[in-house]
Amino acid sequence: MLFFLRKVRKALLTKNRFSTYLLYAIGEIILVVIGILIAVSINDWNEAQKEARQEIVILKNLNDDLKYNLLELRRVYAEDSLQVVDNRRLLAFMQDPQAAYHDSLQTYFGQISRYDVFSPRRMAYEALKSKSLDLIHNEELRSDIIRLYDEQYPLNTLMLDLRKDIHINSMTLANKRFLTLNEVNRTVPTNFEKLRTDHEFINNLSYIAAEGANFVSHLYKMRAQTVVVQEKIRQELQKLSR
């Protein structure tokens, strides 16, 4: 093709048909520009297809991570909710002057400040950040993902730090009043009757029950937001797969 064009150009110059040659040269330039634009368009299309495939992979991985997070949130929420109920029952029991000690209280006493841990899986999100958050083209979805991982989930770390402090303080108080049995979560008071009127212990139990309810509420909000983001990811995957 290039040989043919050079031959035509040479023939026009040889015949001294400059105006015709000028038109030919302009046409040749136009053809070159069109060729470049086509090449650029093909390259852009290939890049767009590559990004689209990457976006689908990232969204699928995010969806898998959120499935795991939801299972963990449901588990921790259920266990922490039960712990709040148990602490409230124990508090009511200790404040009832007619209630008598029985062995089933050993578990209640042993688990007053115990708690479970939710650690969100973040692998897919960190992979997304390492590439580019703009890989998620749906702006609303991208914002929701960022809020979940960079705002909501980090609050869980603060919550766990507070729960750890509460547990340590509670154990310091409990070590002066309880004897641990063969199982670490079963303890007996060294003096039950004295414990009933121990305002420091009762106040601590009341505080743990109240804070426990706050922690459960936070877990509920995290779970609800995770469900919303996962559903939006599922809808986006359906749209991109069409």
Q: Rounded mean pLDDT of the chain? A: 86
* 76 within domain boundaries: yes
Answer whether residue 220 is part of any domain: yes
Instruction: Give residue 211's pLDDT.
Output: 95
Locate all alpha helices (DSSP H) within the chain, ordered by sequence.
2-14, 18-94, 105-110, 123-131, 139-147, 153-174, 192-196, 199-240
| DSSP track, 73-85 | HHHHHHHHHHHHH
* pLDDT surpasses 60 at 130: yes
Residue 14 lies in a domain: no
pLDDT in tens, 191-221: 999 999 999 999 999 999 999 999 999 999 9
What 3-state DSSP class applies to 127?
helix
> Is 128 part of a structural domain of the chain?
yes
CA–CA separation, 226 vs 221, rounded Å? 8
Of the two residues 181 and 67, the one the predictor is more confident about is 67
Task: Look at residue 114 and tell me whether its pLDDT is greater than 60.
Answer: yes
pLDDT band at 52 (very low <50, low <70, confident <90, very high): confident
Residue 32, domain member (yes or no): no
Is residue 25, in this structure, part of any structural domain at all?
Answer: no
**In total, how many domains does the chain have?**
1
Q: Could you tell me which residue, 6 or 189, shows the higher pLDDT?
A: 189
Residue 182's pLDDT is 85
118 phi and psi angles, rounded to 5 deg: -105, 120
Residue 51 lies in a domain: no
pTM value is: 0.79
C-alpha distances in Å from residue 79, one per residue of 14, 55, 178? 93, 36, 24
For residue 165, being part of any structural domain is answered with: yes
What's the domain range around 90?
57-240
